[in-house]
Amino acid sequence: MKLIQTVKRRMGNEEKKATPGGGTGRDAPIAKGKAASSAGGVKAAGVKPTADGSFPNLPKLRETAPGERAELFRRKMEVCSVVFDFHNDSNQREKEAKRQTLLEIVEYVNNTRNCFNEALMQDVVNMVGANIFRALQTRNKDPLAFSDPEEEEPSLERAWPHLQIVYEFFLRFVVSNDVDPKIAKRFVDQNFMLKLLELFDSEDPRERDYLKTILHRIYGKFMALRSFIRRAIQHVFFKVIYECETQNGVGELLEILGSIINGFALPLKDEHKDFLIKALIPLHKVKSLACFYQQLSYCMAQYVEKDPRLAYDIITAMLRYWPVSITSKQVLFLNELEETLELTQPSEFHRMQHVLFRRLALCITCPHFQVAERTLFFWNNDYIVKLINQNRWDLFPIVISALYKNSKQHWNSAVHGLTFNVLKLLMEA
pLDDT digit string (tens) for 232-281?
Answer: 999 999 999 999 878 899 999 999 999 999 999 999 999 999 999 999 99
pLDDT for position 24? 36
Q: Which residues pair with 31 in a beta bridge?
A: 135
Mean pLDDT in residue range 151-175: 91
Q: Which amino acid is at 367?
A: P
DSSP code of residue 135: B
pLDDT for position 153? 78
Burial category of 412 from C-beta neighbours within 10 Å (exposed 0-12, middle 13-18, buried 19 and up): middle
332 contacts 294 by C-beta, under 8 angstroms: no
Output the DSSP codes for 342-391. TT--HHHHHHHHHHHHHHHHHHHT-SSHHHHHHHHGGGG-HHHHHHHHHT
Residue range 81-109, pLDDT digits in tens: 999 988 888 888 999 999 999 999 999 99
Contacts 24+ apart (CB under 8 A), 110-113: 110/1, 110/3, 110/4, 110/172, 111/1, 112/69, 113/178
Q: Which residues pair with 42 in a beta bridge?
A: 38, 84
Q: H/E element holding 44?
A: strand 42-44
| pLDDT surpasses 50 at 33 | no
Angstrom distance (rounded) from CA 110 to CA 89:
32
pLDDT for position 322? 96
Quickly state the pLDDT bin for 410 (edges 50, 70, 90).
confident
Comparing 108-122, 190-204, 217-231, 272-286, which segment has the lowest mean pLDDT?
A: 108-122
Which stretches within 133-159 are classed as H helix?
none
Pairwise pLDDT comparison (285 vs 54), residue with the higher score: 285
Q: H/E element holding 37?
A: strand 36-38
21 contacts 88 by C-beta, under 8 angstroms: yes
pLDDT for position 54? 60
Angstrom distance (rounded) from CA 325 to CA 328:
9
Helix 250-262 and helix 205-221, axial crossing angle in degrees, nearest 10: 30
Mean pLDDT in residue range 303-309: 96
Q: What is the mean pLDDT of the chain?
A: 86
pLDDT for position 151? 56
Q: H/E element holding 96?
A: helix 92-111
